[in-house]
């Protein structure tokens, strides 16, 4: 997790540097978006094969090689800066997205193999907090350093952070999946994931509950900018990110203790309603304090839902299918984020911030009601520690 914080911080510094580089060469915001989306498109194409490889081969090696591919991203930017080349910038974005396509699902699929089942929720919370810390620290540090250092130095910092992660991966021991034959290993197919989702209601609910959370996160930056303009408070942007990030961290620290051995499906559904409450608060907020409270509530719901849903997936999926599933979920999130970005922008233009947030609140509550009804109908019960079944006479 230390490596995740270091590498994540370096990644965000690199992202800030990429934006500065693009601003220097490309005046059009639309062209900037297209350039940044090239890597995303490539990652979507290779995600199915990445999931298959994660389930077939040693996850530790995949994590290590994915980190080496990450190192090629800032290295490519050295050439981009030297030649003022957009082409090298595109190559860099492809490398960073390719690495993430392998690294993120491998890391999520590996957690159940290196921690006891009773500590899965805690481990997922720690992983989420590591990602959150790197996001907060990386954006803050990147924003500061970009005004003090040249881009070459920023990319060197990014490269060093990836090299540190590669060294920290080396001592990790991840048990390999035992397969009966080589033929069994070669028969791993990505499409099997869809059958698993259909046949396991708890996984379906986990994905369904994640849907509204991911949708809100996808349009988060647009909402923050819009709220800042709506309340005529330029400094509000930084406050929102600080409050939201802090509450995510605190919720992650409390998740294991507060949830205990409660039904994870039911508690995850409960926090869908908490998310709806946060969105309602945002829709009626007339001042900075009430808006920050609403974003704090959102941070708490995010901090509980993400590790709980990850734990549900890890507990309900067989070991030899986790790589493909998390590749599928990663691919789904990436597409959903782009859809969210477009719909959020359109909603803000046509409805305004207040009505848009109220509409989002209504949709979220409907999702929560559907999840609650579905969970009760199928008697879904997933806990951190599976309770032994009562013996029949």
Contact 149, 18 (CB under 8 A): no
State which of 119, 142, 171 marks the end of a domain: 171
Looking at the structure, tell me whether residues 50 and 159 fall in a common domain. yes
Looking at the structure, tell me whether residues 220 and 160 fall in a common domain. no
Please give the tally of structural domains in the chain: 2
Looking at the structure, tell me whether residues 165 and 190 fall in a common domain. no
Domain housing 140: 1-171
State which of 118, 141, 171 marks the end of a domain: 171
| Predicted local confidence at residue 392, as pLDDT | 40
Q: From the first residue on, what is the mean pLDDT of each consecutive set of 10 residues in the chain (393 residues)?
A: 73 82 75 77 88 87 91 93 90 90 89 84 86 79 82 91 88 71 60 83 90 87 83 80 88 84 89 94 88 93 92 87 88 86 86 92 95 89 64 39
Residue 55 lies in a domain: yes
Looking at the structure, tell me whether residues 249 and 336 fall in a common domain. yes
| Separation between Cα atoms, residue 225 and residue 52, nearest integer Å | 39
Residue 386 lies in a domain: no
Looking at the structure, tell me whether residues 118 and 38 fall in a common domain. yes
| Predicted local confidence at residue 187, as pLDDT | 64
Residue 25 lies in a domain: yes
CATH code assigned at 277: 1.20.1250.20
CA nearest to 59, candidates 102, 100, 98, 99:
102
Q: At what angle do helices 192-199 and 322-351 cross, to 10 degrees?
A: 80
Contact 264, 308 (CB under 8 A): yes
| Separation between Cα atoms, residue 52 and residue 144, nearest integer Å | 40
Alpha helix ranges (H) inside the chain: 2-25, 29-56, 59-83, 86-114, 120-145, 151-169, 182-186, 192-199, 201-218, 220-230, 236-259, 264-284, 288-316, 322-351, 353-377
| Separation between Cα atoms, residue 124 and residue 308, nearest integer Å | 8
Residue 371 lies in a domain: yes
| Separation between Cα atoms, residue 94 and residue 72, nearest integer Å | 10
The dihedral of CA 325, 101, 157, 245: what is its sign?
negative
Q: Which long-range contacts (CB under 8 A, 24 or more apart) does 170-179 make?
A: 170/64, 172/60, 172/63, 172/114, 173/60, 173/114, 174/58, 174/59, 174/60, 174/110, 174/113, 174/114, 175/113, 175/114, 176/58, 177/55, 177/319, 177/320, 179/320
Looking at the structure, tell me whether residues 129 and 255 fall in a common domain. no
Looking at the structure, tell me whether residues 253 and 276 fall in a common domain. yes
Residue 387 lies in a domain: no
| Predicted local confidence at residue 8, as pLDDT | 79
Contact 324, 52 (CB under 8 A): yes
Looking at the structure, tell me whether residues 127 and 204 fall in a common domain. no
Looking at the structure, tell me whether residues 162 and 214 fall in a common domain. no
Looking at the structure, tell me whether residues 236 and 354 fall in a common domain. yes
State which of 123, 140, 171 marks the end of a domain: 171
| Predicted local confidence at residue 390, as pLDDT | 43
| Predicted local confidence at residue 176, as pLDDT | 72
| Predicted local confidence at residue 386, as pLDDT | 62
Contacting residues for 40 by C-beta, under 8 A, at least 6 apart: 97, 334, 338
Looking at the structure, tell me whether residues 162 and 18 fall in a common domain. yes
Looking at the structure, tell me whether residues 121 and 224 fall in a common domain. no
Cα–Cα distances in angstroms (integers) from residue 75 to residues 10, 33, 70, 92, in the given order: 13, 22, 9, 8
């Amino acid at each position: 997790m230390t490596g995740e914080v270091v590498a994540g911080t370096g990644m965000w510094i690199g992202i800030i540097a990429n934006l500065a580089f693009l601003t220097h060469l490309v005046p059009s915001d639309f062209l900037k978006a297209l350039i940044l989306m090239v890597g995303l498109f490539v990652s979507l194409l290779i995600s199915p094969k990445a999931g298959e490889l994660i389930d077939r081969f040693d996850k530790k090696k995949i994590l290590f090689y994915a980190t080496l591919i990450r190192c090629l991203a800032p290295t490519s930017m050295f050439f981009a800066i030297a030649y003022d080349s957009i082409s090298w910038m595109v190559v860099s974005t492809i490398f960073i997205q390719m690495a993430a396509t392998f690294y993120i699902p491998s890391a999520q699929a590996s957690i159940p193999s290196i921690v006891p089942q009773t500590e899965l929720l805690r481990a997922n919370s720690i992983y989420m907090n590591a990602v959150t810390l790197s996001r907060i620290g990386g954006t803050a540090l990147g924003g500061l350093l970009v005004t003090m250092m040249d881009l070459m130095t920023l990319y060197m910092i990014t490269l060093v952070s990836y090299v540190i992660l590669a060294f920290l991966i080396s001592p990790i021991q991840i048990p390999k999946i035992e397969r009966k034959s080589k033929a069994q290993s070669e028969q791993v197919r990505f499409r099997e994931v869809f059958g698993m989702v259909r046949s396991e209601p708890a996984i379906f609910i986990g994905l369904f509950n994640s849907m509204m959370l991911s949708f809100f996160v996808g349009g988060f930056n647009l909402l923050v900018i819009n709220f800042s303009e709506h309340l005529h408070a330029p400094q509000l942007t930084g406050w929102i990110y600080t409050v939201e990030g802090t509450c995510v961290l605190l919720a992650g620290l409390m998740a294991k203790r507060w949830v205990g051995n409660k039904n994870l499906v039911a508690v995850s559904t409960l926090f869908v309603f908490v998310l709806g409450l946060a969105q309602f608060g945002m829709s009626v907020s007339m001042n900075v304090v009430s808006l920050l409270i609403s974003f704090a509530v959102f941070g708490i719901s995010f901090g509980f839902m993400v590790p709980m849903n990850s734990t549900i997936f890890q507990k309900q999926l067989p070991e030899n299918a986790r790589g493909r599933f998390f590749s599928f979920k990663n691919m789904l999130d990436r597409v959903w984020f782009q859809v969210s970005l477009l719909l959020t922008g359109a909603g803000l233009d046509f409805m305004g911030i207040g009505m848009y947030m109220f509409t989002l609140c209504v949709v979220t509550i409907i999702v929560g009601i559907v999840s609650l009804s579905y969970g009760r109908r199928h008697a879904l019960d997933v806990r951190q520690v599976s309770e032994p079944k009562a013996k029949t006479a």
